Structure 1
Amino acid sequence: MPSLDFSLPHWAYWVGLIVFPLVAMLLSRRPKPDQTKYSISLGYFVLVTGGMLGLHRFYLRSLLGLAFIPVFLVILFANAESQAARSVVSDADNVVRMAERILERETERVETAEADMPDLQAALAEALAEDPESFAVRRAERNVERAEKRITEGRERIAEAETDLETARPTAVEAQEALGFWNNVARYAFYVLLAAMAIDALLLPMLVKRANAAIPPSEAPSEAEIALKKLEEEEQKDDADHVSAGWTGWIDQLSLKAGEFVSYWAVIAVFVYYFEVISRYVFGSPTNWAHEAMYLMFGMQYLIAGSYAMLTEAHVRVDIFYAPMKRTNKAWVDLFTSIFFFIFAGTLLVTSYIFAMDANAVASGNSLVSDWARGEIGFGEMLGSWNMAQWTDPNIRWGEISFNEWEVPLWPMKWVMVIGGLLLVLQGISKLAQDIRAIARGA
């Protein structure tokens, strides 16, 4: 089975986190046609991402997609068997190496002990003849006993090693044959899927055209589609209802857009983990970046979405006494509790700024930004000395990096913490202004 050796470039990771949500937000605002049709571009996208499972056929409502699944399952089963055979081969090879090492070592020791045995026995006989009760007799007896013990134990180890060799070598050969067989099964099954996907890539325009032609011209939306559309409209209306009037409205809109922006990161996670599963279980090449990239992304999503959760009142709280209150009384309560909120949000903003500056100022950073963060140059000198090498030179590091093999820069995440804290403080100011406004108006 061919391997899939791919490591996501750092720039592609950060660009994807920015560009993908922007494109998704633009596409979500396109006017939707009254009658949904199948798209060639979406069909090719599904073919590239899920063609091994025949998802492009299911997208076009073709049951031939079921033919892809057994072949895919064969690949998974063959890879599992290959992994088991590889473990057997590794274990058997270890046994063979240890047995050969034991044979080499113990054979030499036994031969040396057997060669020394006549001299040791002669020395014992000579000591007994001189003085049977002397210390020389006891020492000679111990030397003979040690030599006999070395010979006995050595022969036992040699016998065990020879037995291990007799059993491990055939096992290794048999497992190696099984490994080659299952590798070939997985490889040829993969080639079958590739051939089927290549054929479908050529046929896709015709398949899309046929699927669109099969759609009734006046097909009414199903109840599920109507309910889903109604739910989407209600959710959008609910979010818009939280935007206040006046100058606080732009802060609410900013929090709303930030929450929508990071919500599309969940879609990125689906594709990344799908790639990780395919590369691990189909190609036997687990990535060194997928898990780290996603937990960093979800951490940033949590921070950015804080202001959105505050705007839409999505945070968990106890409403036993708060919910029945009038708007004015709620405003007084919120005004009092905002003291604790700003302590938390201000601490988050200040500490995250310190973390971000420290991330750029670590010793491994040799960029202009790192020099500025360490106080070695001024802000104006940093801007005046800027050049394209700061972006393109792979030897230049902007600061802190992860300790894993991927070595992704961590300073962007630290600055996202600053952005999240700033958004939270701004939303707190908007909420505070609205509470004061409600108290002043008495409504």
Structure 2
Amino acid sequence: MQTLLRLAQLIEALNERVGQFTLWLVLLSVLVSAGNATMRYLFRYSSNAYLELQWYMFALIFLWAAGYTLKHQGHVRVDVFYGRLSKRGQAWVDLLGTLFFLLPFTALVIWLSWPLVTESIRVREMSPDAGGLPRWPIKLAFLVGMVLLALQGISEFIKRLAFLTGHLEAPTEEAPSEEVV
């Protein structure tokens, strides 16, 4: 179990670093958006590349931060009973949800998107818009985001299993205290 817990720590370190990187993308996205608007309204200059860059950064923020958000228990939970369960009950719900929903979903998405991503890379797919950006990097980024989410799911599964078998004191860090009821 210690080997699996070490693997979970490595996965979490990876998602933490990727998550910290994506935080900077939020600032960069705002700057590109403001710069694009300024150029368009003050200088009547516009480029599809700037608009697509904004879309790409938004996609990276969403996709690459999914594992980071799962690590920090930031995904929305809509469950009337979950909050009333004991820590062990919550761990069982998380373990089974990860095993039967999260991991199969990410595996299916990775499996179905793999041919599309590899073909896009092979042909060096470009935006159909004049002055647009290459499309293959963002398709590859999508695949990376799904892999990061799946890895974090594996980490969460390991932590819940370790908690339920008595190898870990608490299954995860606490969720943020500002919960909406």
TM range (shorter): 0.7 to 0.9
Unaligned regions of 5+ residues in structure 2, if any? 170-181
Unaligned regions of 5+ residues in structure 1, if any? 1-244, 366-398
Aligned partner of 2:29: which letter?
A
Give the whole-Å Cα distance in 1 for the aligned partners of 2:120 and 2:147. Answer: 18
- Alpha-carbon deviation of 1:288? 2.8
Aligned residues: 163
- Alpha-carbon deviation of 1:350? 1.7
Alignment of 1:120-199 (within 5 A): none
- Alpha-carbon deviation of 1:252? 1.0
Alignment of 1:154-303 (within 5 A): 246-303=6-63
2:78 paired with 1:318: yes
Q: Percent identity?
A: 28
2:109 paired with 1:351: no
Q: Is the 8 A contact 1:269 1:294 kept in 2?
A: yes
Aligned partner of 1:304: which letter?
W
Give the whole-Å Cα distance in 2 for the aligned partners of 1:415 and 1:284. Answer: 33
Q: Is the 8 A contact 1:265 1:297 kept in 2?
A: yes
- Tell me the secondary structure at the aligned position of residue 404 of structure 1: coil
Match for 1:332 among 85, 92, 95?
92
Q: Is the 8 A contact 1:252 1:430 kept in 2?
A: yes
- Tell me the secondary structure at the aligned position of residue 305 of structure 1: helix
1:104 equivalent in structure 2: none
| TM-score of the aligned structures, taking structure 1 as reference length | 0.35
CA deviations 1:192-214 (Å, max 9, x no partner) are xxxxxxxxxxxxxxxxxxxxxxx
Q: Which protein has greater RCO, CA pairs closer than 8 Å, 6+ apart?
A: 2
Give the whole-Å Cα distance in 2 for the aligned partners of 1:289 and 1:412. Answer: 14
Taking a change above 3 Å as real, the CA distance of residues 407 and 273 of structure 1, as seen in their structure-2 partners, is closer
2:137 paired with 1:426: no
Aligned partner of 1:355: which letter?
L
- Tell me the secondary structure at the aligned position of residue 261 of structure 1: helix
CA deviations 1:15-74 (Å, max 9, x no partner) are xxxxxxxxxxxxxxxxxxxxxxxxxxxxxxxxxxxxxxxxxxxxxxxxxxxxxxxxxxxx
1:412 equivalent in structure 2: 137
Q: Which runs of 4+ in 1 moved over 4 A?
A: none
- Tell me the secondary structure at the aligned position of residue 441 of structure 1: coil
- Alpha-carbon deviation of 1:346? 0.6
CA deviations 1:408-429 (Å, max 9, x no partner) are 1111111111211111111111
CA deviations 1:237-268 (Å, max 9, x no partner) are xxxxxxxx643111111111111111111111
Q: Is the 8 A contact 2:48 2:132 kept in 1?
A: no
Q: Is the 8 A contact 1:255 1:423 kept in 2?
A: yes
| Aligned CA-pair RMSD | 1.7
2:160 equivalent in structure 1: 435
Aligned partner of 2:138: which letter?
M
1:368 equivalent in structure 2: none
Q: Is the 8 A contact 2:39 2:45 kept in 1?
A: yes
- Alpha-carbon deviation of 1:400? 0.7
Q: Is the 8 A contact 1:352 1:421 kept in 2?
A: no
- Tell me the secondary structure at the aligned position of residue 82 of structure 2: coil
CA deviations 1:140-197 (Å, max 9, x no partner) are xxxxxxxxxxxxxxxxxxxxxxxxxxxxxxxxxxxxxxxxxxxxxxxxxxxxxxxxxx
Larger radius of gyration: 1
1:402 equivalent in structure 2: 127
- Alpha-carbon deviation of 1:351? 2.3
